Amino acid sequence: MTKSHDLILEILQKKGENLSQDDIKSIRNEYPFLSFKEFEDIGYIEEIIEQIQITPRNNEVIEN
């Protein structure tokens, strides 16, 4: 795994449902540095982000 992949997983694991807009930006900034195999997982990563964004938290929704 690349360091970018590890960083993405670390952010998702540490932040969980508390993912901020800055966290999402940090994750997406790492996409160009993923290996070809890891790049194929972007769809899964984006699905996780989307699910976190639509999960209600104190009447708050993260905007894209």
Cα(50)–Cα(44) distance, integer angstroms: 10
pLDDT digits (tens, 9 = 90+) for 5-24: 999 999 999 998 889 999 99
Q: Write down the domain spans for the chain.
A: 3-54
- The pLDDT of residue 15: 92
pLDDT interval class at 52 (50, 70, 90): confident
Q: Is the dihedral of CA 6, 36, 41, 53 positive or negative?
A: positive
Looking at 1-64, list the stretches that DSSP marks H as alpha helix, in order from N- to C-terminal side. Answer: 3-15, 21-30, 36-39, 42-54
